Copies of this chain bind each other. A is one copy, B any other.
């Protein structure tokens, strides 16, 4: 049976000991997709500046959220992230705004949660800024795209 690393033998939540783990370069890339309708697409494209500030706001919110991951996810370790980026792209035909985040660290623990938190909060910020136009926005497929570094090795989503 697989093991929960965050739960001890008594079934209690713990923040695991990473002090003996090797310090390696670690990188993780994650995504969140925001599904909007045609009206929202048109509003975003109506005046490039609108998309500009909506996207700038989401990028910054995502970057700042990555730095708050250990405050938000109870068993995450505080980390000194060496890089965070959030990229956004709007597919006018499908109405999908793709949020892709990257987090990087030289340290003893992976940065998947930092990348996922950045993508989620950037997506929520887009939601917030567009919700006056459309009430049924959906954030879907929040997932890890790839990770490298650390004992468990590399991972890439199919």
A→B interface (CB under 8 Å): 1-8, 10-19, 25, 39-40, 42-43, 46-47, 49-50, 52-57, 59-61, 63-65, 67-68, 70-85, 87, 104-108, 112-113, 116-117, 120-121, 123-125, 127-133, 135-144, 147, 155, 157-158
Number of copies: 6
- Give the CA-CA distance A19 to B79 in the complex, in Å: 13
Give the residues in chain B near A129, CB-CB below 8 Å.
Answer: 4, 6-7, 13, 75
The reply to whether A127 and B135 form a contact with Cβ atoms under 8 Å apart is: no
**6 cross-chain pairs, A with B, having the tightest CB-CB distances, nearest first:** A11-B49, A17-B83, A56-B56, A19-B82, A139-B142, A2-B133
